[in-house]
Amino acid sequence: MVSRQIQNYQFEQTGPSSAVFEGDNGPGHQAAKQAMEHAIEMAKENGVAVVGVKHISHSGALGYFVEMAAKQDMVGISMCQSDPMVVPFGGTEPYFGTNPIAFSSPSNDERIITFDMATTVQAWGKVLDARAKHQSIPDTWAVNAKGEPTTDSRDVHALLPVAGPKGYGLMMMVDILSGSLLGVPHGVHVSSMYKDLTKGRDLGQLHIVINPAFFTDLNEFKKNISTMLDELKAQPAAEGYGEIFYPGERGRLRSDKYDKDGIEIVDDIYDYLVSEDVHYDRYHGKNRFAE
């Protein structure tokens, strides 16, 4: 078993294919990146790696970390906790977070399959975006304080799980694997990103890396993935859809466009970004969303 200090973090390999990464409530992005780097190295040697990351802050898009594995000819799976802002199926009060899951796989060419999804119908950021643009939302996204579906982006009390009881089960699974499994707070006990900024959030995250070469011929595996993508792209699209996209394809097309044309943001976000002040006041409020 290995235990060694890495900057302000602590990495402990607890078995040939298992490890725990102590984040010391530091930046989640850096902790998650380093933990995935360790998971990749372990999977190179042992075929599979499972690394739990505990006591971290928000780590951003999980898709970035699973793509690290795909770029090393491996399959990456990640999941993590988030603020309790989702009602259980049939409930009225938030219990779980949006608890995202991400997956990435290489192919035999430059294409990488990546999906990064919240286990809610829509991510909380989409609600914030609708508010900033003074737009309504579909009535399938969220509920008000009475547990009723709402289209008013400013009347959101909680989000809804994707696919009803299926999403509810998925977000529970994520919370168990990235929370309870690592001994960090679960469900409604997870701290808010929008309230007390003086305390650590103690979030948990789980990385799983699978080395295809331990299960089949690597080149054949990648060739099969490329064939799958070719077959999907050749499928006839339903009316109104134009073409079939594989997971991650549209995101890459948007990224290329943003690199070329820039990213459109609303005025208040621009003003916040260029301000010399740190606007702690925007996080002070009466509810879990600091409003």
CATH of the domain at 153: 3.30.60.50
Judgement on whether residues 170 and 245 belong to the same structural domain of the protein: yes
Judgement on whether residues 156 and 263 belong to the same structural domain of the protein: no
Q: Residue type at 52?
A: G
Please report the sign of the dihedral spanned by the C-alpha atoms of residue 58, residue 60, residue 66, residue 67. negative
SS3 147: coil
The pLDDT assigned to 6 comes to 46
Please report the sign of the dihedral spanned by the C-alpha atoms of residue 197, residue 150, residue 271, residue 256. positive
Judgement on whether residues 191 and 261 belong to the same structural domain of the protein: yes
Active site residues: 58
Number of domains in the chain: 2
Mean pLDDT of 69-81: 99
pLDDT of 288 above 80: no
Tell me which residue range forms the domain holding 129: 121-160
In DSSP notation, 148-163 reads -B---TTS--EE-BTT
Judgement on whether residues 274 and 220 belong to the same structural domain of the protein: yes
pLDDT of 190 above 50: yes
Judgement on whether residues 16 and 147 belong to the same structural domain of the protein: no
Judgement on whether residues 217 and 111 belong to the same structural domain of the protein: yes
Report the chain's terminal Cα–Cα distance, integer Å.
47
Mean pLDDT of 12-32: 95
Q: What is the mean pLDDT of the chain?
A: 91
pLDDT of 279 above 80: no
Which letter does DSSP use for residue 76 in this model? E
Residue 291 belongs to a domain = no
Per the model's pLDDT, the better-predicted residue between 285 and 39 turns out to be 39
* CATH number of the domain encompassing residue 226: 3.30.1370.60
Check if the beta carbon of residue 56 is closer than 8 Å to that of residue 31.
Answer: yes
Judgement on whether residues 31 and 107 belong to the same structural domain of the protein: yes
Structure tokens at 102: 């991400």
d(C-alpha 156, C-alpha 146), whole Å: 10
The pLDDT assigned to 280 comes to 52
Q: Please give the helix or strand (H or E) that residue 118 lies within, else none.
A: none
Mean pLDDT of 42-55: 98
Structure tokens at 262: 């820039």
pLDDT of 286 above 70: no
Mean pLDDT of 238-258: 96
User: How many CB atoms lie under 10 A from the CB of residue 26?
Assistant: 16
Structure tokens at 290: 């600091």
Check if the beta carbon of residue 81 is closer than 8 Å to that of residue 205.
Answer: yes
pLDDT of 3 above 50: no
Name residue, tokens 């959030």. Answer: 201
Judgement on whether residues 85 and 17 belong to the same structural domain of the protein: yes
